[in-house]
Amino acid sequence: MRKWIAGLAMLAMFACAFVPSVCFTEDRDTVRLARTIYALGKEESYETKLALGTVVMNRVESAWFEDDLGDVLEEQQQFPAGKRYDDESLRAAHAVLSGERNLPEDALYYRSDAAEPWGEANRVERVGGYSFYSEDGNR
């Protein structure tokens, strides 16, 4: 019986070490943000993932959007609700939740370079495969 308990304990430690989503040490908002970042930028660099997280947090801190991270992430057709994340996306989520930003505070919108471009008028910066804007390009 002791061998079974020790074996299960070892399996749990292994799972937590190599599969971050199995561990229960992360709070809900951090995991939700990491999943969103991963859904948008899983093949992108850490800097791009940080920029995507920055847009989310800029919205939380803006008077024009909801004040709660969950409410911002749940806005219709704004951010995907992913089911997975990786270590880099989790690290970017931790960084932006701790106040780190790599875009100015008026960068509130993003657009994949693979989508139809919004143009240069309100583009704040381009990072990786994304452009970041201060105003919605659909206006």
> What is the tens place of the pLDDT at every residue in 15-31?
665 555 555 468 999 99
Give me the mean pLDDT over the 101-127 stretch: 92
Q: Is the pTM of this model over 0.85?
A: no
Given a cut of 80, whether residue 7 has pLDDT beyond it is no
> What is the tens place of the pLDDT at every residue in 77-106?
899 989 999 999 999 999 999 999 999 999
Which of 74, 79, 75 lies closest to 54, judged by CA? 79
8 A C-beta contact, residue 113 and residue 125 = no
- What is the structure's pLDDT at 137? 60
